[in-house]
Copies of this chain bind each other. A is one copy, B any other.
Amino acid sequence: MRLTVYTDYSLRVLLYLGVRGQDHLATIQEIADTYQISKNHLMKVTYDLGKNGFIETIRGRGGGIRLAVAPEEVNIGQVVRKTEEDFHIVECFDPESNLCKISPECRLKYALNEALQAYFKVLDSYTLADVLVSKNALFELFGFEK
């Protein structure tokens, strides 16, 4: 039931940029330092967040990254759908690697799939703005200066 570290870090980058605000261009190094996580991991994460239209990169001297859209427009369910590698809860969710011989008639996958849809229905009801309601407190926890 864990999300991948890749999804975890993607959400953290969005939270960081959401709290930091649009006037600041953030660097991958500063985000890595703030969270004390691997910069190499974040390279791929931010590249993909950009490709998916969640963040934008301003190039050149003094450049950096920021949200590409307002926090209200970043849907958490949509982010998780884009960042999770797959949704193969159990083996038979992947027809290519499935070896379980009862899968044609086993109803367990329907129950698990229904549960997964319920999970996403909740995440789809949240935007980045919703999870940033304590923005001022988060600003201080990040250690940003006003």
Contact = CB atoms under 8 A, between A and B. Distances in A.
A39 interface: no
Interface in A48-82: 76
B126 A111 contact: yes
B90 A111 contact: no
A80 to B, nearest CB: 8
Contacts of A116: 1, 119
Contact of A3 (B90, B118, B126): B90
A122 B130 contact: no
A125 to B, nearest CB: 8
Interface string A87-100: 11111000000011
Contact of A2 (B88, B120, B121): B88
A32 interface: no
12 contacts: A1-B3, A1-B87, A3-B89, A36-B99, A76-B111, A101-B141, A102-B138, A104-B137, A105-B141, A108-B131, A115-B122, A118-B121
